[in-house]
Amino acid sequence: MKMCKQNFKGKKVVRVMNGMMTRLLEITKNDLKTKEDPDVIVKSKNEETKKNKDIANMILSILPMLPQGYGQIYGARKALVMLGIDEDESRLFVQETGAEIEARSQLVLLNKNTDLNPVSDIQEDHDAYICIYRQAIDTPAKFKAIKNRLMAKIEKEKQNRAMDMQMAQQQAAGIAPSQPTNPNAGPAATASNMLMSSALQKPKTITTARDVQPVQK
């Protein structure tokens, strides 16, 4: 507090806001009364906005280099938040994947310390599950679920490495390798494109039975 008073010069205008109105008050160094030194941080809004834009541009520049999956999705949403978009609204631009939706539904069970079923698909986007599971209350079921997903992620990486090696051997032997399907490629295909395509995507036309006209014979 002593240092604050020594560096406090003249009068300062403080904006005090409440639910009804905003008041402007003038204070001097003698108005500062506290037993401990306050942690006061004054930031320039313009500088903070520029800093956030720089961070967002940096995130977008490295997104294409990240492996396809939850990392790109998380990074795309983070960039939107740094640009001033609300976190909930960022999910409208980059919509949640099936893995995220399922993981959020399982939070209720983890908070009740209920064990989840074993991982059924080793090729799932385990990073999405792990990130969301960490939001649950600390329970033995939570830590067990995260551990199971980590083990499944390791096994997935082993299988993918073996598949890549098999494809390389087939190419060396002159055999056209079969193209494996990546279940994570769809929702996370180049996150920079997600920002554009999600924002500009036109609503799909849903055809119902009433819209189908009978064929005249």
Q: For residue 114, what pLDDT is reported? A: 95
Q: What is the pLDDT of residues 24-42, one digit of tens each?
A: 777 776 776 666 666 666 6
- Asked if 90 and 119 touch (Cβ cutoff 8 Å), the reply is no
Mean pLDDT score across all residues of the chain: 76
Does a structural domain hold residue 50?
Answer: no
Does a structural domain hold residue 208?
Answer: no
Does a structural domain hold residue 80?
Answer: no
> How big is the chain, counted in residues?
217
Specify the number of domains making up the chain: 2
Query: Residue range 112-121: average pLDDT?
Result: 94
Q: Worst-scoring range by mean pLDDT, 9-18, 20-29, 193-202?
A: 193-202
Does a structural domain hold residue 115?
Answer: yes
Q: What is the pLDDT of residues 124-142, one digit of tens each?
A: 999 999 999 999 999 999 9
Q: What is the domain range of residue 21?
A: 2-30
Distance CA 175, CA 65 (A): 29
Q: H or E element: which one contains 23?
A: strand 22-27
Does a structural domain hold residue 174?
Answer: no
Q: Which DSSP symbol is given to 108?
A: H
Q: Is the pLDDT of residue 117 over 90?
A: yes
Q: Is the pLDDT of residue 45 over 90?
A: no
Distance CA 96, CA 94 (A): 7
Q: Is the pLDDT of residue 201 over 60?
A: no
The dihedral built from the CA positions of residue 76, 81, 87 and 91, taken in this order, carries a sign that is negative
Does a structural domain hold residue 213?
Answer: no
Does a structural domain hold residue 110?
Answer: yes
Q: What is the pLDDT of residues 176-200, one digit of tens each?
A: 656 555 544 444 444 455 554 444 4
Does a structural domain hold residue 139?
Answer: yes
